[in-house]
Amino acid sequence: MTRAAAAAARVRERPSANQDERPAGMPVDMLVLHYTGMRSARAALDRLCDPASRVSSHYVVEEDGQVWRLVDERRRAFHAGVSYWRGHQALNGRSIGIEIVNPGHEHGYRDFPALQMAAVCDLCLEILARHPIPARNVVAHSDIAPDRKDDPGEKFDWPGLAANGVGVWPLGVADRGFGGIVRDGGGLRSVRADLAAVGYGVAAEGGADMALHTVLRAFQRHWRPEAVTGEADAGTVARLEAVARICAGG
């Protein structure tokens, strides 16, 4: 048995009622990663399958690496909610959602175990082989809904995933530290433009600074987890410029 076949054999079925048809003709070109944010895997699975909750995901990955399929990838699951990325909104129609078991910031946020991350990585690679999902469209829930969501959060191993071919992580960016916070208009305009180039729903010009702070926090949770401050410090700006360059390139 190949590694992929072994992984497929490990997937258990737990169908959720919370699904419907994808919009006709829409490509599946996004992969959205979440944490469950509940006290236990069982509570999360129950909620994601409860018709009254109106939420679901295609997959749930437990901390021991057990993978559950709740919704067929050809169908729409209800995991993204109000969302925006690279010019598109309401992203359930074009995305696959994976819920990764972790109590989350409300119930004792903790590290994602290596076994769990390995299972997430294998599952993502299988999904990427089945759908035209570019690396820049492998995102956190917090990336596509920065004002509502923090998941999967700053403990999630994005660099490890990228090292295996899942998502974007810039290599070789010099650490410029936490000082040198950008506050002038010109500097902030270029921060906005880079965030928009990555895919965030922030206007390239103007807008409230509060929104910029919120979006910067989302960027940091994903690409600069050392300090989730919402401030455009020198290290954050360097990482942002590098990510924007990769995302602009395809």
Distances (CA, A) of 76 to 3, 55, 136, 249: 27, 11, 21, 29
151 binds Zn ion (CB under 5 A): yes
The amino acid that residue 181 corresponds to is I
Q: Please select the residue that binds Zn ion; options are 58, 88, 94, 141, rule is CB under 5 A.
A: 141
6 to 35, contacts with Zn ion by CB under 5 A? 34
Judged by CB under 5 A, which stretch of 103-111, 138-146, 163-171, 235-243 contacts Zn ion? 138-146
Q: Which of 21, 99, 154, 241 is catalytic?
A: 99
Cβ proximity to Zn ion: between 62 and 233 the closer is: 62
62 binds Zn ion (CB under 5 A): no
143 binds Zn ion (CB under 5 A): no
What is the C-alpha separation between 13 and 158, in angstroms, rounded?
27
99 is an active site residue: yes
162 to 221, contacts with Zn ion by CB under 5 A? none
Tokens of 171: 């290599």
- For Zn ion (CB under 5 A), the number of binding residues is 3
Hey, which residues are catalytic here?
Answer: 99
Q: Which residues bind Zn ion (CB under 5 A)?
A: 34, 141, 151
